[in-house]
Amino acid sequence: MYIEVEKGITVFVEDLNPGPNSKTIFFVHGWPLNHSMFSYQFNVLPQHGFRCVAMDIRGNGQSDKPWSGYTYDRLADDIYVVLEALQIRDAVLLGFSVGGAISIRYMSRYEGRHISKLALVDAVSPSFVKMPGSPYGVSKEQAEELISQMYANLPELLNTVSLQFFNRNLGTATLQWFVKMGLDSASYALIKIMQAAVRENVINDLGQIRVPTGIFHGIHDQLIPFKSAELTQQQIKGSKLFPFDNSGHGMPIEQADDFNKKLMEFIQS
């Protein structure tokens, strides 16, 4: 389905609802992907009574691809519009990678409305680049180089990132799937979302989260170091850290069975 989030701009939403008493999980994907990255969750979680709702962030997947609107605030606003439109209550908000940062911003900006639990998965938190209060990210120079590569040769960059994304070789077909998801996005949207990740941070948002929070993070994450997850856990009162010993940055794909089990345990606890 398509939901208008701003005048003339719609986002694509997948809604897998196994029944009237289903617990809702609202998925927010990361850069450079779309909702299809959660296929290994959608295949399983509805069998256990979970309603899985996922949106393609503007500029990605099947959503509209406007020139503007790629700040953390605006992307959090899009989440709010979709939750309101679907009248979702007491959901688990699950944010992956930069989708984790956007979800954190949503929780502070909207005081956690509609949300009863938060799941942060390999989240870009507290920041993508190194800065005071968040020393474990990439350097600003490395981040700017990523953006330069997107201007010069996006397919080549996506191929390179696919090799860094996972902790082990998942085969050519999976890497091609990853690259295809990236190429289904507008290149300028990927650039602008990366620019937002370089420019923004969620350091001041973390202390405003008031719901039970699970932090799921791959030990071998090359893109967002595990130490960032530990720092995030320290900043969110009462949160719990779930380390994944055999994952890099692509845990929902490369360690899907373990992730699904831990996620369900967290939701049901």
Identified catalytic residue from 29, 35, 217, 249: 249
50 forms beta bridges with: 23
Can the peptide bond before residue 126 be classed as cis, meaning omega within 30 degrees of 0? yes
Contacts of 173 (CB under 8 A, 6+ apart): none
Yes or no: say if 192 and 62 are a contact pair by the CB < 8 Å rule: no
Identified catalytic residue from 63, 97, 103, 134: 97
Contacts of 86 (CB under 8 A, 6+ apart): 3, 13, 15, 53
Yes or no: say if 13 and 54 are a contact pair by the CB < 8 Å rule: yes
249 is catalytic: yes
Can the peptide bond before residue 32 be classed as cis, meaning omega within 30 degrees of 0? yes
Identified catalytic residue from 56, 78, 122, 221: 221
Plot region of 242 (φ>0 → left; ψ -120 to 50 → alpha; else → beta): beta
Task: List the one residue out of 36, 252, 204, 6 whose CA is nearest residue 104.
Answer: 204
56 is catalytic: no
97 is catalytic: yes
Yes or no: say if 134 and 201 are a contact pair by the CB < 8 Å rule: yes
CA–CA distance, 198 with 192 (Å, rounded to integer) = 10
Catalytic residues: 97, 221, 249
